[in-house]
Amino acid sequence: MTWLFILLAMLLVISPVMWLKPSPRQKRVAALRNAAMKTGLKVSLQTPPLHGATTAMPAYRWHYPQQRPGPDFVLVRDSHAAEALKPFAHDWRWRHEPLRPLPDDLTARLKRLLERLPQDALVVESDARALTLWWGESQDFARFSTYLEDFVALRDGLAGRPDDPAAAPSPPPGQPPGA
């Protein structure tokens, strides 16, 4: 009988420790975030720019150079967008369009990237500081890394195209504005 009490006491001590052990998903997400941050991304948990959203969601940010701010826009996946929002690409709608239209090559690049993103990618946002992907982290870093080059190229193309032309630095001599 004494052994039974000792075994029960041991189980009571060990069980909370087992609850603290990370799940396989938690291990995968931690590895994904660490690898993403090593590439220069800023990863944080914040409330996404979705109507009525109150729960924090992972935000992966590609920062624009401080001297070259980006345009302001928000694209939302159809599953989380109202029908009244203007369609942009297959399964994506503008919640907030950039004031100045994007060049055709950047628009095409953005559409190609949106078509490739996983279904849990809900918002792609740009503001003067960064290009941000709001998603549910459904993939591991090996799969996510296939988007990195496209996001970097998109960020580089959008840099220096702020909605407020006064915020943009003046172009080098001999180069037309907005080029």
CA separation, residue 170 to residues 110, 165, 177 (Å): 26, 9, 7
* 143 phi/psi in degrees, rounded to 5: -75, -45
- Calculate mean pLDDT across residues 115-127: 95
* Tens-digit pLDDT profile for residues 69-117: 999 999 999 998 889 999 998 899 999 999 989 999 999 999 999 999 9
pLDDT of residue 1: 76
Contacts of 101 (CB under 8 A, 6+ apart): 107
Q: Is residue 123 part of a domain?
A: yes
Residue 43: which region, alpha, beta or left (left: phi > 0; alpha: psi -120 to 50)? beta
Three-state SS at 125:
strand
Cβ–Cβ under 8 Å, residues 169 and 68: yes
**Residue with the two structure tokens 């009525």:** 52
Q: Does residue 167 lie within any of the structural domains?
A: no
Distances (CA, A) of 5 to 2, 19, 177: 5, 22, 80
Residue 108 domain-assigned? yes
pLDDT for res 21: 77
Is residue 166 over pLDDT 90? no
pLDDT (tens digit, 9 = 90+) per residue, 1-56? 788 778 777 777 777 766 777 788 888 889 999 999 999 999 999 999 988 888 99
Q: What is the pTM of this model?
A: 0.80
How many domains is the chain built from? 1
Residue 133, class by beta-carbon neighbours within 10 Å (0-12 exposed, 13-18 middle, 19+ buried)? buried
Is the residue at 109 inside a domain? yes
91: phi > 0 → left, psi -120 to 50 → alpha, else beta; which?
left
Domain hosting 149: range is 23-50+62-160
In a domain? residue 44: yes
**pLDDT score for 169:** 54
**Of 72, 101, 76, nearest in space to 87 by CA:** 76
In a domain, 97, yes or no: yes
- Number of Cβ within 10 Å of residue 69's Cβ equals 23
Residue 72 falls inside a structural domain: yes
In a domain, 173, yes or no: no
